[in-house]
Amino acid sequence: MLANCVLPPHHTQETFSKAVEELHALLGRENVDTVESNNLDDGSYYEPPKTHDPFHILDQTEYVASIVIRPASTEDVQGIVKIANTHRVPLWPVSIGRNFGYGGAAPRVRGSAVVDLGARMNKVIDINEPQAFALVEPGVTYKALYEEIQRRGLKLWIDVPDLGGGSVLGNTLERGAGYTPYGDHFMVHCGMEVVLPNGEVVRTGMGAMPDPSHPTGSANTWQLFPYGFGPYHDGIFTQSNYGIVTKMGLWLLPDPGGYQAFMISFEKDEDLHQAIETIRPLRIAGILQNAPSIRSATLDIAVAGKRAEFSSTGKPLTEEEIEAAIEKVDTGIGRWTFYGALYGPEPVRDIFWAAIKGAFGKIPNAKFYFPQDLPEKKGSVLHIRDGTLRGVPSFTELEWTKFVDNGSALFFSPISPVTGEDAEKHYELAKRRHAEFGFDYLGTFTIGMRELHHIICVVYDRTNTEQKARAYKMLRLMVKDYAELGYGEYRTHLSLMDAVADTYNWNNNSIMKLNETLKDALDPNDILAPGKSGVWPKQYRESQ
């Protein structure tokens, strides 16, 4: 039964079979799948595999699971944790497991048991319209939450990331971002339920206050006030291996009573500097109301078509080819294109728009568009963003992965201040490395509250081993390059977690010492997500 299964470290078929038998008894055989590592299917965004990373940058089986298990309740998760402690089986919890461009559902340690929380724990537990919040289980996707709000006819909006198929809870735990005024997902979450590695369940914030009369059994302020009393813990359960989150609250936006997406395109590559300088004061003052983004021409070109449609060389697009492609796609884009939105009734929007137009109008040849000004056609990013910026889940954004054959994507995401000088440094560095290694630079800067998330989308052919090795070499170098300039990644792919963690080493790596102290205290048997974000449990550290 375990013939082609990659076993967890230090296990034999015999020892692992015992754990699997106990899991069968707990969850039912039908909720425990054995993974045949010689028969992996990369699936698609719509049917993502839970067994490995479909966008493998290393070998397909490098990050492969031994089994995939599907709990139905918090009690099941506690039971799984108990079995894992007894048999020392590493667990890798995922909510939906899409985790697009960061490793999918794959575990960092080969042979871990992937805990597919979303398969059966997918209830929207509560949506409260007047107080504008929701409480969800791990399997609730952005699409599902959106549809539930529509079904109930509520005057509420959600914030969505680029793609609508991810888990609301999973994305928040990874500190993912969206594009409405609630674009910082961790900032607008409120309250968690967490199974600790020792099997104990905690509720954070006001959730620690019991109220037997409330349907959740916790205080009716659990989703209203994030902090509760005493130490605030929620942050340590994000991008971490300290707990399995089984419920999470989040704030929803009340329908603002009006909306208008817009796009501003800039003619020259050098305009990035002035555009960013224009964005900063507007964003900090709240005149740019949402988390907008400014995208490179190449990213928008890649949404419109394959590289071969814009170049016959098989090489990255040249400056001239980029200029020609902008003309060819004819979607109003420039060398850089800014996508934002106005929220509120018309008079409110008019005031904001006048301020925004006045400021960006100082950049020579900046062009302003509303979606209604342009034909809706393939590759029109403004029409896609029109939905995303008002929280309508989209599946179209992944089109740019098809830019190359067998296109796969990995995100490289360093953080920058919102200054022209910093953005330029980020861009120059990425552009230089991409040219050196023969990749197209497809990038976007998303503007948060005070920072830029520079999201570089590295697209490669996953059937081409040489190309993958080249991309991986470039990525490893870029971790170092950016760190030398003082920039760090906010999130990363499995294969770069150690490298990125190593760059956060101020004061003799004191943050990693704290991480490891917490890890050893909370997870003495080393069972939960070893290696997540570069945090290794004790026995793994000692054997390295």
Give me the least distance between CB of 125 and ligand ADP, in Å please: 14
Residue 79 binds ligand ADP, judged by CB under 6 A: no
Say whether 408 sits in a helix, a strand or coil.
strand
| CA-CA-CA-CA torsion sign (326, 332, 334, 338) | negative
**521 contact partners, CB below 8 Å, separation of at least 6:** none
| CA-CA-CA-CA torsion sign (192, 181, 156, 93) | negative
Give me the least distance between CB of 185 and ligand ADP, in Å please: 10
Give me the least distance between CB of 337 and ligand ADP, in Å please: 26
Q: Which is nearer to ligand ADP, 244 or 483 (CB)?
A: 244
Q: Which is nearer to ligand ADP, 192 or 288 (CB)?
A: 192
Interstrand relation of 91-94 and 113-116 (parallel, antiparallel or unpaired): parallel
Cα gap 7→61, rounded to integer Å: 12
Q: Which is nearer to ligand ADP, 19 or 96 (CB)?
A: 96
Identify residues 301-340 at the interface with ligand ADP (CB under 6 A): none
Q: Which of 49, 111, 138, 191 binds ligand ADP (CB under 6 A)?
A: 138
Give me the least distance between CB of 538 and ligand ADP, in Å please: 20
**302 contact partners, CB below 8 Å, separation of at least 6:** 399, 400, 402, 403, 440, 442, 459
Q: Which is nearer to ligand ADP, 161 or 256 (CB)?
A: 161
Which among 267, 319, 437, 470 has a CA at the least distance from the CA of 311? 319
Sole window of 8-16, 87-95, 416-424, 437-445 interacting with ligand ADP (rule: CB under 6 A): 87-95
CA angle 368, 330, 396 (to 5 degrees): 90
- Overall residue count recorded for the chain in this entry: 544
Q: What is the CA radius of gyration of the chain?
A: 23
Cα gap 500→20, rounded to integer Å: 34
Q: Which is nearer to ligand ADP, 245 or 479 (CB)?
A: 245
What one-letter code names the amino acid at 36? E
Identify residues 158-197 at the interface with ligand ADP (CB under 6 A): 166-167, 169-171, 173-174
Inter-axis angle of helices 13-27 and 74-87, nearest 10: 160
Q: Which of 532, 534, 535, 537 binds ligand ADP (CB under 6 A)?
A: 532
Give me the least distance between CB of 374 and ligand ADP, in Å please: 31
The H or E element containing residue 172 is helix 168-173
Q: Which is nearer to ligand ADP, 93 or 292 (CB)?
A: 93
Give me the least distance between CB of 321 and ligand ADP, in Å please: 33
Q: Which is nearer to ligand ADP, 137 or 271 (CB)?
A: 137
Cα gap 150→129, rounded to integer Å: 12
- The pattern of x and - marking residues 394 through 433 that bind ligand ADP according to CB under 6 A reads ----------------------------------------
Question: Tokens 């020392």 map to which residue?
Answer: 88
- The pattern of x and - marking residues 234 through 253 that bind ligand ADP according to CB under 6 A reads ----------xx--------
The token duo for 480 is: 């170092």
Give me the least distance between CB of 532 and ligand ADP, in Å please: 6
Residue 90 binds ligand ADP, judged by CB under 6 A: no
Give the active site residue among 182, 343, 427, 490.
490
Cα gap 299→412, rounded to integer Å: 14
CB 139 within 8 A of CB 268: no
491 has catalytic annotation? yes
102 has catalytic annotation? yes
Say whether 369 sits in a helix, a strand or coil.
strand
Give me the least distance between CB of 299 and ligand ADP, in Å please: 20
| CA-CA-CA-CA torsion sign (488, 489, 490, 494) | negative
Give the active site residue among 280, 335, 390, 491.
491
Which of the 8 DSSP states describes residue 389? T
CA angle 173, 175, 181 (to 5 degrees): 120
Sole window of 5-13, 90-98, 224-232, 319-327 interacting with ligand ADP (rule: CB under 6 A): 90-98
Say whether 444 sits in a helix, a strand or coil.
strand
Residue 80 binds ligand ADP, judged by CB under 6 A: no
Alpha-helical (H) ranges within 376-505 are 381-388, 420-437, 465-484, 497-503
Q: Which is nearer to ligand ADP, 196 or 348 (CB)?
A: 196
Residue 5 binds ligand ADP, judged by CB under 6 A: no
- The pattern of x and - marking residues 113 through 132 that bind ligand ADP according to CB under 6 A reads ----x---------------
Give the active site residue among 63, 102, 343, 487.
102
Q: How many residues bind ligand ADP (CB under 6 A)?
A: 21
Say whether 91 sits in a helix, a strand or coil.
strand
Q: Which is nearer to ligand ADP, 97 or 332 (CB)?
A: 97
CB 197 within 8 A of CB 236: no
Q: Which is nearer to ligand ADP, 97 or 530 (CB)?
A: 97
Cα gap 519→531, rounded to integer Å: 11
Give me the least distance between CB of 453 and ligand ADP, in Å please: 16
Residue 204 binds ligand ADP, judged by CB under 6 A: no
Give me the least distance between CB of 279 and ligand ADP, in Å please: 27
Identify residues 92-111 at the interface with ligand ADP (CB under 6 A): 93-99, 105
Residue 49 binds ligand ADP, judged by CB under 6 A: no
**48 contact partners, CB below 8 Å, separation of at least 6:** 54, 96, 97, 98, 104, 105
The contact set with ligand ADP (CB under 6 A) reads 93-99, 105, 117, 138, 166-167, 169-171, 173-174, 244-245, 529, 532
Residues with catalytic function: 102, 490-491
